[in-house]
Amino acid sequence: MTFKTDFLWGGATAANQLEGAYDIDGKGLSVADAMPGGKERLAILASPEFDWTIDIEHFTYPNHDGIDHYHHFKEDIALFAEMGFKAYRFSVAWSRIFPMGDETTPNEKGLLFYDQLIDECLKYGIEPVVTISHYEMPLNLAKTYGGWKNRELIEFYVRFAKVLLERYQDKVKYWMTFNEINSATFFSGLSQGLVPSNGGDDKTNVFKAWHNQFVASAQAVKFGHDLNKSLQIGCMSIYSTTYSFDANPVNQLATQESIQEFNYFCNDVQVRGAYPAFTNRLHRKHGVNADALEISEEDLKIIKEGTVDYIGFSYYMSTVESKTGEGVQASGNMVLGGVKNPFLKESEWGWAVDPDGLCYALNDLYGRYQVPLFIVENGLGAIDKVQEDGTIQDDYRIDYLKKHIQSMNEAVEDGVDLMGYTPWGCIDLVSASTGEMSKRYGFIYVDLDDEGKGTKKRSKKKSFDWYKEVIASNATNL
């Protein structure tokens, strides 16, 4: 294997999916706290009937409790350290720091929690990798301001980012501004706070929200760089390797357009510092009123000056484009869509398992942008069964990760500059797409079910010791 000696092996989580403690120590409500659980979660959020004013007491699980990492973080990080983590990617709950999102003074109790969390990581030599905003906008910003389509959110976000960057500049080197910012291509509720009832079905609002996020991200990046030259601040997007169903030029062109829209658009703005040439075509395609986006010359200057240092991205599956309507509709993923790939197996949730697609992704991104890459999410959601002797034999997860690491190595040998790898859900947590505990990703099993019942006891799966050896050997032993 050819990974660099300081390669950042570790794992990734998000505050709203594992912390719990949703209403203590001054934390305000987030959009995640107002989301239902279950397989129909995204469909419910995308329906015209849903709005952010709904009575959240109906949704007491799963996000409200998570796995109670808030009270178990020392135990959890000790387990990460036992695996040999070099890095731990987590997010800061925005509403834990600014409960309503629009305050001018942060909640000190919320900051004290992250003081302890970061210090616990550093105690074990684990690099904190912090996502500033990860699907957990303060609910008030979605309800009162209408989410990211409102330009006022730029000021609120930048204030939040500045508080974190100033407080942790000497402890946290690696940052990302927004999680999976391009997810709004298909659904804007998670990342932009937009649902149909507040304009989420209007693409003009989605592109306006993106622009405001781009400006906010650039301001945060520039502030961080001016504050401390050693800080590495990245963007973060989903990458979906996309194949054409066949050689029909109609499908080939549709595939190219899909790649540009989903894999390149947001990255182009944040890495290159300018909107790509195909932006006008996207506006025409989606009926966007470009004049309503309120893009100023000053905004474009800020975006140009606030480019990121690296690309963080998630990779779970590939997709197949069929403009001609041929092929069988892919199952299990409302977000990415496409048709089934007959050459690939699927997970229990219908996600195509494609390790080779990761090598493709790495070569594609590095060839286009020539900045370091960081795989900050990758993993297999599966149902894990506890055996009579208490063990969890998750060989399927080991097989999935092993093949993806081999694919990463091929890309590194091709010349790709890869910083690190933090598989998703290194400890079992609540699924973002389905709101389930039964869709498990972790190396560490947490005794909780989809109703929130269980002991919360942590136990090691077979993959725990396997990944420990991967890290110790720098992947020479898979």
User: What architecture (CATH level 2) is domain 8-473?
Assistant: Alpha-Beta Barrel (3.20)
Is the pTM higher than 0.95? The answer reads yes
Q: Which two tokens stand for residue 36?
A: 């239902």
Residue 317 CA to residue 321 CA, distance in Å, equals 13
Task: Tally the residues of the chain.
Answer: 478
pLDDT digits (tens, 9 = 90+) for 35-49: 887 777 888 888 888
CA 141, chain centre distance (Å): 20
Could you tell me the residue ranges of all domains in the chain?
A: 8-473
What does the DSSP assignment read for 143-193? Answer: HTS-GGGSTHHHHHHHHHHHHHHHHHTTT--EEEEESSGGGGGT--HHHH-
pLDDT digits (tens, 9 = 90+) for 349-395: 889 999 999 999 999 999 999 999 999 999 999 999 999 999 999 99
Q: Percent of the chain, pLDDT > 90?
A: 86
The Cα angle at residue 85 between residues 390 and 161, in degrees rounded to 5? 120
Q: Which two tokens stand for residue 433?
A: 């797409």
pLDDT digits (tens, 9 = 90+) for 130-153: 999 999 999 999 999 999 999 999
* pLDDT-based confidence at residue 127 (cuts at 50, 70, 90): very high
Collect all residues with Cβ–Cβ distance below 8 Å to 277 and sequence separation of at least 6.
none
Question: How confident is the prediction for the chain on average, in pLDDT?
Answer: 95
* pLDDT-based confidence at residue 61 (cuts at 50, 70, 90): low
Residue 290 CA to residue 133 CA, distance in Å, equals 26
Stretch 233-244: mean pLDDT, rounded? Answer: 97
Q: Which of 136, 180, 261, 377 is catalytic?
A: 377
Q: How far is CA 245 from CA 28, 89, 186, 251, 361, in A?
A: 46, 35, 20, 7, 18
Q: Give pairs for 300-305: CB < 8 Å, separation 24+.
A: 300/274, 300/275, 302/215, 302/218, 302/219, 302/222, 303/214, 303/215, 303/218, 303/269, 303/273, 303/274, 304/218, 304/273, 304/274, 305/218, 305/222, 305/273
pLDDT at 55 over 70: no
Q: Which residues, in sequence order, are bridge partners of residue 418?
A: 373
Q: How far is CA 43 from CA 1, 37, 340, 451, in A?
A: 42, 11, 20, 20
CA 332, chain centre distance (Å): 18
19: annotated active-site residue: no
